[in-house]
Amino acid sequence: DGVPGIVTVRFNEGDVVRHPLVAEIVKAYDRDGKLARGLGAES
């Protein structure tokens, strides 16, 4: 962030279509990130 010409792209489980295991890993990281920010667990 803050670098001209450079952007950050955030992917979620909907972007991962190649392998179910990879999608589960992305979901786990997302869930962990929400818990760390105090937003609660996904239902």
Please report, for residues 2, 3, 12, the alpha-carbon distance to residue 41 in angstroms, rounded to integers and kept in the order given: 31, 33, 16
pTM for this entry = 0.45
pLDDT digits (tens, 9 = 90+) for 1-43: 578 999 888 877 677 667 888 878 888 988 888 878 776 555 4
Contact at 8 Å (CB) between 30 and 23? no
Q: Which domain holds residue 14?
A: 1-43
CA distance 12 to 26: 7
Split into its structural domains, the chain has a count of 1
- How large is the greatest C-alpha to C-alpha distance in the chain, in angstroms? 38
First vs last C-alpha separation in the chain: 31
Place of tokens 């920010």: 37
